[in-house]
Amino acid sequence: MKLKPSDVSTVIIVNKNKEGSQTLQVKTKHINRLKHYLFAVLAVITTLTLSVIYLNHKSGQQEEERLRLVAQLVKLKGEIPPPNIEVKKTNTAQSYIQSIEVKLQTINNYLRKRGLKGFSTAAVGGNGNAEAAKLTDSETYSLYDEYLNRLVHTVAFTPMGYPRVSSLTSYFGYRSDPFNSASAEFHPGIDFKGNRGDEAKCTATGKVVFAGWYGGYGNCVRIAHANSFETLYGHLSKISVRVGQEVTVGQKIGEVGSTGHSTGTHLHYEVRKNGKAINPIKFLTLNN
């Protein structure tokens, strides 16, 4: 379609430094609408500027509120007497609650090192039944204290959680032999997907009883724990601990690899009880 002369305006661009000039043909309607375009751009810039100012103001208010709440919490913590000193009878409840909080924090730290989510302390304080209501503060504290002491010890020394946080590629039990699909084999552990060099971590506090080449397991680490438990980490590319070394939960004991009887890079993990392999799946979370 050919434009009429009235539909097109000619803009002359004069160059002061050089001789001559340039012409630019623009549709007349765009020139007529130029002030609208400029107003729209100005409105967008103004809106963005006001938004930035508002967000900065809100961020400052939120930071002030956070600092105020932190200060209040610190003040409240300071008002609660430490659990290890004698307190008056009226402060008994505060004392055992403080002790419980400390122990629950310890447990949650163990859980996080295993890649598990910690649990809420909102339910602490009894189940609210008639029998619980008859207990004195001292009796309630003793029951909670005894229970949590056992729980801390159990969590620390029982294999629990993930030696590495990733998807599973093979499960406990009978499966098709990866080297001969025509036959079956018993798989005494679970396999975690990984890349060569990824960290393999201890799932419970214990002592290293083997660190070296272990037949089809390739480079392998075995760790003895309390209550006749043992964990095994196989096909490692590198071993980071030695026999007799005491290790703690979450500590690096080696790196993922594909040594020994292995078809690809992964971490083989076993949990044994009195020398017999048991399904590690039940130890991955607290709910199993």
**pLDDT 10s digits, 88-128:** 554 566 666 677 777 777 777 766 665 665 655 544 445 55
Q: Ranked by mean pLDDT, which of 12-26, 166-180, 198-212, 271-285 comes out on top?
A: 198-212
The domain segmentation of the chain, as residue ranges, is 5-32, 83-157, 168-283
pLDDT at 130 over 60: no
pLDDT-derived band at 62 (thresholds 50, 70, 90) equals: low
Q: How confident is the prediction for the chain on average, in pLDDT?
A: 75
- Residue 273 above 50 pLDDT? yes
197: left (phi over 0), alpha (psi -120 to 50) or beta: left
Per-residue confidence band for 184, with pLDDT thresholds at 50, 70 and 90: confident
Burial level of 217, CB count in 10 A (0-12/13-18/19+)? buried
Instruction: State residue 262's pLDDT score.
Output: 87
Nearest one of 264, 274, 160 to 224, comparing CA atoms: 274
Q: What is the pLDDT of residues 19-30, one digit of tens each?
A: 666 666 666 666
CB 222 within 8 A of CB 245: no
pLDDT of residue 61: 65
Can you give the pLDDT at residue 123? Answer: 47
pLDDT at 136: 67
Q: Please say if the pLDDT value at position 78 is more than 60.
A: no
What mean pLDDT do residues 251-275 have?
A: 92
Q: What angle do CA 118, 123, 124 make, to 5 degrees?
A: 95
Q: Report d(CA 72, CA 265) in Å as an integer.
A: 51
Q: Report the topology of domain 168-283.
A: Glucose Permease (Domain IIA) (2.70.70)
pLDDT at 1 over 70: no
* 3-class secondary-structure state, position 44: helix
Which runs of E-coded beta strand occur in 15-86?
21-27
30 or 278, higher pLDDT: 278
Phi and psi for 26 in degrees, rounded to 5? Answer: -130, 145
pLDDT score, position 208: 97
Q: Is the pLDDT of residue 257 over 90?
A: yes
Binned at pLDDT 50, 70 and 90, residue 7 comes out as low
Q: What one-character-per-residue DSSP string does 117-128 give?
A: PP--STT-S---
Q: Which among 11-15, 163-167, 205-209 has the top mean pLDDT?
A: 205-209
The predicted structure's pLDDT at residue 93:
62
Report for 171-175, 208-212, 277-281: range of highest mean pLDDT: 208-212
- What does the pLDDT look like over 228-242, one tens digit per residue? 899 999 999 999 999
| 186-200 mean pLDDT | 91
